[in-house]
Amino acid sequence: MKGGKQYLFEYALIATTMLLSVLGFWNIYLGENAAPDPYHHLHVVTDFIWLFLLLYQLSLIGNKRYGDHRRVGLAVLVAGPLLFATTALLSVHSAHKGLVSGQGDALIVQNVMVTLELGLLILLAFVLRRRRKLHGAFILSTAILFMGIALFFTLISFVPQYKIEGPETFYRFETAGMAIQAICPVVGVLFFVKDFRNGWPFLLAGLCFVLNEWIRSSLTTGKLIGPLTEFVGSRNQTFTFVGSFALLLALLAATGILNAKSREMTQVRRPA
């Protein structure tokens, strides 16, 4: 690829996220007690659609195919809200399972906050789309969120120090969480150092897990984790999916991106 050297960090981020995603889903699909359900299938499909879309868009920019990049960008208008809706649905599903089992949802705060942060990063990418490098940084920084989640499940699945082997090792959830809180900001810093002017969205995404842990700790102190789990777990899943998709799609459309795309297509079709 012509832009391979220029965007080496970006390619490495996407490739690493893809690899960790495979490892993170490994036990669900190929583990000893593998039992994937439709929610897992939806999660895998939407995650990899998004990551491959990021990879393709990056390759177009690297090869200076800006027209194709803008046209393919229309897919993000659908893929972004779809990804957001899927993540929201999984948050509700996970909380609901915790309520039904009576065991609660240990990841309720991370699930809810990552959903909101994902939607915010995608929205800001389109609000700031005229600043191309910043727009690209916001879109690509979403990979850090997926990398952090995938790394968490990879750690508790394969690394002995983090594997959950019974009730007495549940504390390792927190240990694995601390690991991603240390690693993801470092990744964000690397991108920020690479480009101080446009790399800060990566740093912002990398710090999300630290922020989420602070929120979890505060809610735990205030004994609000249970009420939050009950609130999220009691939401209607169909309404959550459709409503989340419609909300982000409407917000993206409100940035004027659809009108801009329409003008671009008209100019392309207009004879010289």
Question: pLDDT digits over 249-260, tens only?
Answer: 999 999 877 665
pLDDT in tens, 140-191: 999 999 999 999 999 988 888 888 777 777 778 888 889 999 999 999 999 9
CA distance 234 to 244: 16
Range of the structural domain that residue 265 is part of: 8-269
Residue 106 covered by a domain: yes
**Placement of tokens 């491959």 in the chain:** 52
**Cα–chain-centroid distance for residue 178?**
19
Residue 3 covered by a domain: no
Q: What was the pLDDT predicted at 82?
A: 95
**Placement of tokens 């959550």 in the chain:** 240
Residue 221 covered by a domain: yes
Q: What was the pLDDT predicted at 233?
A: 96
Q: What was the pLDDT predicted at 151?
A: 94
| Number of structural domains found in the chain | 1
Residue 1 covered by a domain: no
CA distance 200 to 84: 22
**Does the pLDDT of residue 267 top 50, yes or no?**
no
Q: What is the mean pLDDT of residues 51-62?
A: 89
Residue 146 covered by a domain: yes
What pTM was estimated for this model as a whole? 0.89
The DSSP code for 218 is H
Cβ partners under 8 Å of residue 104, min gap 6: 98, 225, 226, 229
CA distances in angstroms from 218 to 27, 201, 239, listed in the order given:
32, 25, 29
CA distance 130 to 270: 23
Judge whether 98 and 104 are in contact, CB under 8 Å. Answer: yes
Cβ partners under 8 Å of residue 139, min gap 6: 54, 57, 76, 121, 122, 125
Burial 168-183 (b: 16+ CB within 10 A, else e): eeeebbeebbebbbeb
Residue 247 covered by a domain: yes
The share of the chain scoring above pLDDT 90, in percent, equals: 63
Residue 160 covered by a domain: yes
pLDDT in tens, 188-237: 999 999 999 999 999 999 999 999 999 999 999 999 999 999 999 999 99
Q: Nearest 5 degrees, angle CA 194-CA 132-CA 77?
A: 120
